[in-house]
Amino acid sequence: MSLSMTTLSIIGVLGLIGIGLYALLAAQHMIKVIIALQILAKGAILAFVAAGQANGHVSLGQSMALTIVVADTIVAVVGLSLAVQARRYIGSMNIRSLSNLKR
């Protein structure tokens, strides 16, 4: 039994998105949340590239993937900087301790 490249890409996309969602829901540490968002973004990138390959518009899929990479990098940098500042202010990287910032 031979699987096509499109089928393998869909399996990869679903796997990455599933792992990312599970990690996002289970994480209580700020760095783990950022890593989960990165995994979700990689699933979206693979989905756009696979869709472009399946439709014959590879350049469109690649340009969308590049746009997602740029946006994902910005989100990661801002998220990490906020995590560092929260660690300095609160003393913990636990998401539950962010409720102390309300005061």
pLDDT digits (tens, 9 = 90+) for 72-86: 999 999 999 999 998
Does the predicted TM-score (pTM) go above 0.75?
yes
Counting the structural domains of the chain, the total is 1
Domain containing 94 equals 5-102
| Residue in 16, 20, 46, 43 with CA at minimum distance from that of residue 32 | 20
| CATH number of the CATH domain containing 70 | 1.10.287.3510
Q: In the prediction, which pLDDT does 21 show?
A: 96
The angle at the Cα of 74, spanning 57 to 35, to the nearest 5 degrees, equals 90
Is the predicted pLDDT of residue 102 greater than 80, yes or no?
no
| Residue in 83, 8, 99, 86 with CA at minimum distance from that of residue 49 | 8
pLDDT digits (tens, 9 = 90+) for 7-58: 899 999 999 999 999 999 999 999 999 999 999 999 999 999 999 988 888 8
- Listed in sequence order, the DSSP H helices in 27-57 are 30-55
Phi, psi for 80 (deg, rounded to 5): -65, -35
